[in-house]
């Protein structure tokens, strides 16, 4: 029977026997080894009315992962939920177990930190209320400190607008062997319904706790997203649409109630264990092979300058340089910047091979017009460094001095094998990162891989041919991009070994739930070098 603290409807009591039997059947379906089968068309083999959002897990540390689910009756009355973890899908031997509470204060969500797990090991987990069993999830713990895994394989994803397209990329990820999925933000879109979308969003605009929660329930209703969560641990951070478009610290000050509701819903529905208030920047290690720093480029940032259109720069010689060149302007905030530099320095000092940065907005400069030229500087010696017209000041281009600070730290401290994984811009890009991007003789100190969008429409909304032309022009910018694809959706898959890293852009049209996923371009990066070889898909 259900373990109910206050009461639950008679209807749910009567359904307990039937759902319990279904839970046993689901355990049999999901008992195979990786990769997890896609199951019913487009989705996970078993999700029922009582566990309507499936299950999810998140990386926390070498011996602990976060486990998550939502028990629907818990949204009305507090219910005790049992959780179980095993190193085998039959659950004959449990390596961890306990109880938690699904209650209305968390919209029925259950989240536990399962400790005492063996590092570098695949585990299976489930939730139970009496005989009612949740879907079974699979998760992998990171490798222990001092060990060197043969490889670490991650997916990087972002920007999954429910209305814009289908989540076919997630169906592919669910059947791919991975250590974890790094979600770089825009997990939901707060906006209301719009005409012309491939799917309807019945929630409308999210403005309070009830509507932000409804957004997460809507997105988790997608069977392909549920399948990916059940197959792999996630490592999520937020970007702007988890709150509101182009949000900054001033957004939080202007509307603290809405911000509080948005962030509360995110913590309720994401498999992330709270650190300190609304802090989400954190660090994960996979033995001494990969160090992953996850940052927050939203809640501590200064607001976008000017009218917020997103295009700006230093245009008129003799004029006043814009806000983007001001010393002290920040996208990270002082505390997070210090933490990031310390984390990168510690990873280098500890001998970790690959240093990856989970980053929301494009780090490499997208400068449309270069003003930092000797001839123009001769006319006006006060032209700021990197002066020019930039594509989007919402990106790191709007924070010139702070970006230079990070790049100079990487150069001066000899932080090797530094890679940036980025989302946000709904397209695929790749570029080397120089310590001084105005000097082509300046050393390359890292590489950036912008990993597309799951479904959100990008530049191709204005037409496929125009997007192709813009992409060709983007490769000619100063500094240039090595690769630009503005026409397709998809994700990135990153594999790191002691000798090399490879990044594959997997693309899809996302126009239907069964849209094909194409193995696209692959970038091959030998450890200890700045040379990335592109193998076009």
Helix/strand/coil percent split, the chain, to 5:
25, 25, 50
Taken in order of first residue, the domains within the chain and their CATH numbers are 1-141 (2.60.40.380), 279-535 (3.60.21.70)
Contact predicate 57/234, CB 8 Å: yes
The three-state DSSP-derived secondary structure of 178-198 is CCEEEECCCCCCCCCCCCCCC
CA atoms within 13 A on the CB side of 357: 30
The DSSP code sequence of 284-316 is EEETTTEEEEE--SSTTPPPPSTTS-S-EE--S
Sign of the CA dihedral running 423, 58, 214, 455: positive
CA atoms within 13 A on the CB side of 306: 16
Taking the whole predicted model, whether its pTM rises above 0.85 is answered as: yes
Distance (Å, whole) CA 356 – CA 442:
21
Residue-level pLDDT, tens digit, the chain, 537 residues: 334 343 333 233 223 333 333 332 333 233 333 344 333 333 333 346 899 999 999 999 999 999 999 999 999 999 999 999 999 999 999 999 999 999 999 999 999 999 999 999 999 999 999 999 999 999 999 999 999 999 999 999 999 999 999 999 999 999 999 999 999 999 999 998 777 789 999 999 999 999 999 999 999 999 999 999 999 999 999 999 999 999 999 999 999 999 999 999 999 999 999 999 999 999 999 999 999 999 999 999 999 876 433 334 444 433 335 789 999 999 999 999 999 999 999 999 999 999 999 999 999 999 988 888 888 878 888 888 999 889 899 999 999 999 999 999 999 999 999 999 999 999 999 999 999 999 989 999 999 999 999 999 988 877 777 888 888 888 888 899 999 999 999 999 999 999 999 999 999 999 998 999 998 899 999 999 998 999 987
Sorted by sequence, the CB contacts under 8 Å of residue 288 that are 6+ apart come out as: 145, 146, 147, 148, 350, 351, 352, 353
Distance (Å, whole) CA 210 – CA 215:
9
The DSSP code sequence of 90-130 is T-SSEEEEEEEEE-GGGTTEEEEEE-SPPTT-EEEEEEEET
Helix or strand or coil: residue 169?
A: helix
Distance (Å, whole) CA 149 – CA 496:
9
Burial of 417 (0-12, 13-18, 19+ CB in 10 A): buried
- The token pair that represents 271 in the structure block: 């498999």
Output phi, psi for 516, to 5 deg.
-70, 145
Contact predicate 63/95, CB 8 Å: no
Contact predicate 312/305, CB 8 Å: yes
CA distances from 318 to 216, 257, 384, 385, 519 (A): 50, 43, 11, 14, 50
Contact predicate 91/126, CB 8 Å: yes
Output phi, psi for 293, to 5 deg.
-100, 125
Kind and range of the H or E run holding 470: helix 464-474
By C-alpha distance, which of 158, 173, 246 is closest to 451?
158
Number of H helices, E strands in the chain: 10, 26
Distance (Å, whole) CA 86 – CA 106:
26
By C-alpha distance, which of 486, 466, 527 is closest to 288?
527
Question: Residues 456, 461, 464, CA angle at the centre, nearest 5°?
Answer: 115
By C-alpha distance, which of 391, 405, 457, 465 is closest to 435?
405
Burial of 412 (0-12, 13-18, 19+ CB in 10 A): exposed
End-to-end CA distance of the chain: 54
Residues 44-70: b if buried by 16+ CB within 10 A, e if exposed: bbbbbebbbbbbbbbbbbbbbbbbbbb
């Amino acid at each position: 029977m259900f373990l109910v603290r206050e009461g639950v409807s008679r209807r749910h009591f009567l359904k307990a026997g039937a759902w319990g039997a279904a839970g046993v059947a689901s355990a049999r379906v999901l008992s195979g080894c990786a990769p997890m089968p896609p199951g019913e068309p487009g989705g996970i083999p078993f999700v029922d009315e009582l566990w309507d959002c499936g299950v999810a897990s998140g990386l926390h540390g070498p011996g602990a992962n976060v486990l998550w689910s939502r028990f629907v009756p818990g949204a009305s009355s507090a219910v005790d939920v049992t959780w179980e973890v095993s190193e085998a899908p039959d659950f004959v031997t449990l390596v961890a177990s306990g109880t938690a509470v699904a209650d209305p204060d968390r919209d029925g969500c259950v989240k536990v930190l399962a400790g005492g797990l063996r590092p570098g090991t695949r585990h299976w987990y489930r939730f139970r209320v009496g005989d009612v069993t949740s879907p079974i999830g699979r998760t992998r713990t990171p490798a222990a400190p001092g060990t060197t895994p043969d490889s670490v394989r991650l997916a990087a994803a972002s920007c999954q607008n429910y209305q814009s397209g289908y989540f076919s990329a997630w169906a592919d990820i669910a059947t791919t062997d991975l250590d974890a999925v790094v979600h770089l933000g825009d997990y939901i879109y707060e906006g209301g319904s719009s005409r012309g979308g491939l799917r309807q969003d019945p929630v409308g605009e999210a403005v309070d706790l009830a509507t932000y929660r409804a957004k997460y329930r809507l997105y988790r209703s997608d069977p392909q997203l549920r399948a990916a969560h059940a197959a792999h641990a996630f490592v999520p951070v937020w970007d702007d649409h988890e709150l509101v478009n182009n949000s900054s610290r001033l957004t939080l000050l202007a509307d603290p109630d809405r911000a509080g509701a948005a962030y509360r819903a995110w913590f309720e529905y994401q498999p992330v264990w709270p650190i300190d208030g609304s802090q989400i920047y954190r660090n994960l290690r996979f033995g001494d092979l990969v160090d992953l720093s996850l940052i927050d480029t939203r809640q501590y940032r200064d607001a976008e300058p000017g009218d917020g259109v997103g295009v700006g720069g230093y245009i008129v010689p003799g004029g006043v340089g814009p806000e983007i060149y001001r010393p002290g302007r920040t996208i990270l905030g002082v505390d997070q910047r210090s933490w990031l530099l310390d984390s990168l320095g510690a990873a280098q000092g500890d001998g970790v091979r690959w240093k990856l940065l989970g980053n929301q907005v494009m780090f490499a400069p997208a400068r449309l017009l270069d003003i930092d030229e000797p001839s123009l500087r001769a006319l006006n010696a006060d032209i700021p460094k990197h002066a020019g017209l930039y594509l989007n000041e919402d990106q790191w281009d709007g924070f010139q001095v702070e970006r230079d600070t990070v790049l100079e730290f990487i150069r001066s401290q000899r932080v090797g094998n530094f890679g940036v994984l980025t989302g946000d811009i709904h397209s695929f890009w790749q570029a080397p990162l120089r310590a001084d991007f105005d000097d082509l003789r300046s050393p390359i100190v890292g590489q950036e891989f912008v990993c597309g969008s799951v479904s959100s429409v990008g530049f191709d909304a204005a037409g496929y041919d125009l997007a192709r032309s813009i992409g060709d022009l983007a490769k000619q910018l100063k500094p240039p991009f090595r690769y630009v694809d503005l026409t397709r959706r998809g994700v990135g898959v990153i594999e790191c070994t002691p000798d090399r890293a490879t990044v594959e852009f997997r693309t899809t049209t996302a126009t239907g739930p069964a849209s094909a996923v194409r193995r696209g371009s692959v970038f091959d990066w030998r450890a200890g070098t700045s040379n990335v070889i592109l193998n076009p898909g």
